[in-house]
């Protein structure tokens, strides 16, 4: 059984093993979501409702993960996060 590593993100087909391509596709999708270009219309009898259903915080976290993977794959520096510590 062969498992494909290609997924569709928005209008792009990308290989999940190419993190830089995944970041680019996710950024494009985030821009479309942010500008309201992605919407869903539901029609019930005479009423029609159009809404945008997205979790931008979750999408931003996913983009950060793939950016880190992309930086590692291309030999770049990883983002570093500092932790605050308070002693009483």
17-25: Cβ within 8 A, 24+ apart: 19/66, 19/67, 19/69, 19/70, 19/73, 20/70, 20/73, 20/74, 22/66, 22/70, 23/63, 23/66, 23/67, 23/70
Place of tokens 């970041």: 23
pLDDT in tens, 24-40: 998 888 777 766 666 77
How many Cα atoms occupy the beta-carbon half-sphere of 68 within 13 Å?
A: 9
What pLDDT, in 10s, does the model give residues 24-83? Answer: 998 888 777 766 666 777 787 788 887 766 667 777 887 888 888 888 888 766 556 666
pTM metric for this prediction = 0.53
């Amino acid at each position: 059984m062969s498992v494909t590593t290609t997924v569709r993100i928005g209008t792009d087909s990308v290989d999940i093993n190419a993190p830089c391509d995944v970041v680019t596709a996710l950024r494009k999708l985030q821009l479309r979501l942010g500008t309201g270009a992605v919407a869903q219309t539901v029609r019930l009898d005479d009423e029609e409702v159009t809404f945008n259903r997205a979790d931008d915080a979750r999408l931003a976290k996913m983009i950060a993960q793939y950016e880190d993977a992309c930086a590692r794959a291309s030999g770049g520096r990883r983002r570093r996060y500092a932790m605050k510590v308070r002693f009483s």
